[in-house]
Amino acid sequence: MRLKPDKVLRDRLFIPESYNDFLRSKTSVHSVGMDINESAINPMLFPFQQRLTWWALRKGRCAIFADCGLGKTFMQLEWARLLNVPTLIVAPLAVAQQTRYEARKLKADVQYVRDQSDVHTPVSITNYEMIEHFDPSVFGAVVLDESSILKSFDGKMRTKLIQMFQAIPYRLCCTATPAPNDIAEIANHAEFLGVMTRAEMLASYFVHDDEGWRLKGHATEEFYRWLATWGMMVKTPSDIGFSDQGYQLSPLKVEPLWVKADMMTAAKATGQLLPTRLHGVKGRLTVRKQTINDKVQIASDVLNRSGEQWIVWCGLNEEGRRLAQVVPDSILVEGSDSLETKIHSIGRFLDQSRRVLITKAKIAGFGMNFQHCHNMMFLGLNDSYEMYYQAIRRCWRFGQEQPVNVVVVLSELEQPILENIERKQAVAQSMERNIINNIAGYEQQELGIIRVVNNGYQTGTTEGEGYTMMLGDCVERMRELAPVSVDFSVFSPPFLNLYTYSDSNRDMGNSCDEAEFFQHFGFLITELLRVMKPGRNVAVHVAQVAAKLASDGYIGLKDFRGQVIDNFVTGGFYYHGDVTIDKNPQAQAIRTHAKGLLFNQLKKDSSWLRPGLADYILIFRKPGENALPIHPDISNDQWITWAHPVWYGINETDTLNAAEGTTGRDERHICPLQLPVIERCIRLWSNAGETVLSPFAGIGSEGYKAILLNRQFIGIELKPEYYAVALRNLDAAITQRKQGRLL
């Protein structure tokens, strides 16, 4: 009969009743929302909008990253109505007024408010500039409309939004799909929603190298799976399994108009002897100022010949002011205008009482729906592709029935800016489609459109002469072993290295923090206690783990060794002893570039210096009397050496060849335990012919030595590539042992 830990022990280890439940919890973001029948959602919403709203209600805290014109306003209003708690919607500038108009279509009562005293309806809406005047404790839900604006604010405002609303139970972010290479935007949303902090996200899924932050090889799929649990990225309805009928963008035409520039004046202003391409911000600004008159002349000719509405995006106040003077039926909106003036002026363009709106993209380029207009003009450009793209999408969006015309007025010297924008556009579109393709399957699983697919988990068993190798999850496969059947166990567990060697949630290294790791490790300890014979030992190889500034908030060490000891003792073992394995600090400094080991730190500030990190063998003993005494084949002199608390002379490179099992997505080479260490452990704590177990067999190092020392071996390995190499190494050990007998 299988031994089970008592309830007290289970509570102390925080172990769920079901191992499968725990595995699911490692890859899910817990829902805090409400389950409703989809039929309760307003039938005015399209089927894909209803499903996204249903999902957002079930999650409670999530983001809808839907492209322009896909109905984010309708979805957030229905989300707020069905939650039926006091809700505050925060939106940019005149977007608040547009949201009120959309609410009328749904027959919802949404009131625009400027401070807490104005709040009298279940759903209120205000501007980002007004949040200082509200008490978040009064609200049960908050919506950030055009939430990508978070990254446009300074760090102080972003932090304020996160801190101000962190206690509100229901939170929804709505914006267009994030820039595909903008880690900060995704991190800001995750932190605002309480899903994960920026530091935790970077530590979990990203690695920093010479090119900046990039996804870890093994973290790619897991990152998209994680993202889909709280954020829906939708460019078209078909991305989440619905029809695209009615959601085709109208044609877009971009036409540059060139003006001549005084190249010699521009060259002198930027310190050049001869006119060449633009150099830096100063060069761009010089040319832009120099060509204002010519640009305004060309722009006014185009605008005054047209009888249609236009939006003109300018970059300098002087550009907008001069153009407004020569275009009679225009209205100018500047940053210095009061909030009321901005809202009123934009409203006059929306109700078509003014034909031309002149403003900056940072004022009205986010969130506004100007699809009643299909002409726009850029009076010059800067290098921000995102600003350019957002501005165009105010008119070029789903629901726009007319072809959209975009005129870009530039001087000849500004051609590199346009080329840079076009290059960024091509890269962004490619990356964006790649993200959508990667995440679509996980999103459709979240939405219940398709069933959960197999995650690639494999199992198998191979028996050889003196060994049994098992492919799969060590916790599950150990349950197949008979109780009290193992004489000795030696292994090296993962050291909290996320997505370094695999993307499986069954990999203990893939844990978000120490608590989750040791919760997972607790299942293994329970199985070890069950299969070990009474009075016998488990030898665990560990090292201390470095704390990093990016992921942990400080530079230092985590007491991984101490935590392993605590968890084994809590799991029912006796702490029996340990060995320190001497390591070369200079080799560590070269390999890790650890700040605390470098020579330049000795000269700079030795307060950062620390000793090199040793390896440890921790010995744990299962309670009870050993039925069969162990008689190791070592002399007294050997025992004097091995009984020393520090094992010297262990060659760090005396290992099996780890490169054979490495894949292209591995972030590090596997670090197998040194063969002399394994040999000492096996000879000290087992007899010939007895069974040695390694639940983390890797490439088979423990089994290799066990076979050579005439023991039986049971190994379990999760990763198929390592499993295949382990089989080869075990068979090689059998061949060597036979050859030794013949000699």
Contact 375, 306 (CB under 8 A): yes
Tell me the HSE value of 315 on the side-chain side, using a 13 A CA sphere.
Answer: 21
Interval 40-75: pLDDT, tens: 999 999 999 999 999 999 999 999 999 888 999 999
Predicted confidence at residue 487, as pLDDT, reads 98
Contact 656, 729 (CB under 8 A): yes
Residue (of 184, 194, 114) closest to 162 by Cα position: 194
Q: Please state which CATH class domain 460-742 belongs to.
A: alpha beta
Predicted confidence at residue 281, as pLDDT, reads 55
Residue 95 has pLDDT above 90, yes or no: no
The rounded percent of the chain whose pLDDT value lies above 90 is 56
Predicted confidence at residue 29, as pLDDT, reads 63
Cα 508 to Cα 174, 426, 502, 521: the distances in Å are 34, 39, 10, 7
Task: Kindly indicate the confidence band of residue 437, based on its pLDDT and cuts at 50, 70 and 90.
Answer: confident
3-state helix/strand/coil string of 223-291: HHHHHHCCEEEECCHHHHCCCCCCCCCCCEEEEEEEECCCHHHHHHHCCCCCCCCCCHHHHHHHHHHHC
Predicted confidence at residue 271, as pLDDT, reads 54
Task: Kindly indicate the confidence band of residue 451, based on its pLDDT and cuts at 50, 70 and 90.
Answer: low
Phi, psi of 638 (to 5 degrees): -65, -40
Delimit the CATH 3.40.50.300 region(s) of the chain.
Answer: 31-195+230-240, 252-425
Delimit the CATH 3.40.50.150 region(s) of the chain.
Answer: 460-742
CA distance 415 to 278: 9
Interval 393-428: pLDDT, tens: 999 998 899 999 999 999 888 888 888 888 888 888
Annotate 409-430 with b (16+ C-beta within 10 A) or e (fewer). Answer: bbbebbeebbeebeebeeebee
Predicted confidence at residue 85, as pLDDT, reads 95
3-state helix/strand/coil string of 510-569: CCCCHHHHHHHHHHHHHHHHHHECCCCEEEEEEECEEECHHHHCCCEEECHHHHHHHHHH
Predicted confidence at residue 595, as pLDDT, reads 82
Cα 660 to Cα 24, 471, 723, 725, 729: the distances in Å are 32, 17, 11, 7, 11
CA distance 341 to 543: 64
Q: Please state which CATH class domain 31-195+230-240 belongs to.
A: alpha beta
Mean pLDDT of all residues belonging to the chain: 87
Residue 716, SS3 per DSSP = strand
Predicted confidence at residue 663, as pLDDT, reads 55
CA distance 44 to 16: 43
Domain 252-425: homologous superfamily in CATH: P-loop containing nucleotide triphosphate hydrolases (3.40.50.300)
Residue 376 tokens read as: 């726009």
Residue 239 has pLDDT above 70, yes or no: yes
Predicted confidence at residue 264, as pLDDT, reads 52
Interval 668-715: pLDDT, tens: 556 789 999 999 999 999 999 999 999 999 999 999 999 999 999 999
Predicted confidence at residue 539, as pLDDT, reads 98
Predicted confidence at residue 9, as pLDDT, reads 34
Predicted confidence at residue 519, as pLDDT, reads 94
| 253 Cβ contact partners less than 8 Å away, ≥ 6 residues apart | 403, 404, 405, 406
**Other CB atoms within 10 A of residue 408 CB:** 21
Predicted confidence at residue 213, as pLDDT, reads 77
| 505 Cβ contact partners less than 8 Å away, ≥ 6 residues apart | 23, 26, 27, 222, 455
Predicted confidence at residue 625, as pLDDT, reads 97
Predicted confidence at residue 385, as pLDDT, reads 84
Q: For residues 239 and 148, which has the higher predicted lDDT (pLDDT)?
A: 239
Residue 543 has pLDDT above 70, yes or no: yes
Residue 290 tokens read as: 């120099």
Residue 306 has pLDDT above 80, yes or no: yes
| 450 Cβ contact partners less than 8 Å away, ≥ 6 residues apart | 241, 441, 444
Residue 319, SS3 per DSSP = helix
Interval 22-32: pLDDT, tens: 988 876 666 78
Residue 265 has pLDDT above 70, yes or no: no
Number of alpha helices (DSSP H) and beta strands (DSSP E) in the chain: 27, 26
Of the ranges 172-176, 249-253, 374-378, 660-664, which one carries the lowest mean pLDDT score?
660-664
List the beta strands (DSSP E) in 633-679. 646-647
Predicted confidence at residue 260, as pLDDT, reads 84
Residue (of 41, 436, 395, 98) closest to 237 by Cα position: 436
Task: Kindly indicate the confidence band of residue 13, based on its pLDDT and cuts at 50, 70 and 90.
Answer: very low
Interval 592-622: pLDDT, tens: 778 888 888 888 999 988 898 999 999 999 9
Q: For residues 270 and 36, which has the higher predicted lDDT (pLDDT)?
A: 36
Task: Kindly indicate the confidence band of residue 10, based on its pLDDT and cuts at 50, 70 and 90.
Answer: very low
Residue 409 tokens read as: 């007025």
Residue 267 has pLDDT above 60, yes or no: no
